[in-house]
Amino acid sequence: MKIEYLGHSCFKLTESTGTSVVCDPYSSEVGFEMPKVSADAVTVSHRHYDHDAVDKVGGSPVIIDNESGYELTGVNIDAVKSFHDGSRGKMRGENFIFKFRMDGIDVCHLGDLGEACSPDLIETVLPVDVLLIPVGGKYTIDAEMAKEYVDRLMPDIVVPMHYRTKDSKLDIDKVDEFLKLFDDEYIEYKDEAELELSRSDLNGETKIIVLRRN
């Protein structure tokens, strides 16, 4: 399978048969334009401009924005209801965590998760091979809470998202706050936006991979 980072919290996931899903497309209000892309489906973690710009995705995709399970050719998609804040949604409402099964790999996109790590949520989300996790704080979990999720979920691959970049207009933390919580040997910086994975790439050891948006 292939993971392509499109910026902010947006990824395009493509299964070996060609079936593709875009997660949390964003509008230019974040400070930069989303690349032109098409997909068979789009998942929306919550209705906010930096996560629900479904009109940015071509190809007449199916829009998935609720807890109903969905199956595309070769891809299983499940949603887990969570909260966008630490007050059970009283501040910013609900958030959907999406899980994808592609080529035998379990990928989890946490959306704008804002609630603290709990045994019930961890049990519901497991197993996770690849974790796409917000780390910028303020509107989501912060670096330390993200580290706790990584420690509890124990994925093989962690890709940070929803952090401040030089062209971002959002008042959130940079990715460095998250990365400094890990030893350098477990961090890999890519000069590209794409990552190709197969089951043989998963060895049981957690690695943080920072993808570069094109």
* pLDDT of the residue at 89: 54
Residues facing residue 21 across a β-bridge: 13, 41
What mean pLDDT do residues 112-120 have? 92
Q: What is each CA distance from 92 to 18, 29, 48, 87, 144, in whole angstroms?
A: 35, 19, 10, 9, 20
Q: How far apart are CA 12 and CA 4, in angstroms?
A: 5
pLDDT digits (tens, 9 = 90+) for 134-167: 999 988 999 999 999 999 999 999 999 999 998 8
Tell me what the pLDDT averaged over the chain comes to.
92
Q: Cα-atom radius of gyration of the chain, to the nearest Å?
A: 16
Which pLDDT score is estimated for 129?
98
Kindly state the average pLDDT of the residues 195-206. Answer: 93
Residue 194 lies in domain? 2-210
Q: Which ranges in 99-179 belong to alpha helices (H)?
A: 119-125, 143-153, 176-179
The mean-pLDDT minimum among 27-41, 65-79, 112-126 falls in: 65-79
In this prediction, residue 48 carries a pLDDT of 79
Number of domains in the chain: 1
| CATH code (residue 53) | 3.60.15.10
pLDDT exceeds cutoff 80 at 34: yes
Q: Rounded to an integer, what distance in angstroms lies between the CA atom of residue 143 and that of residue 139?
A: 12
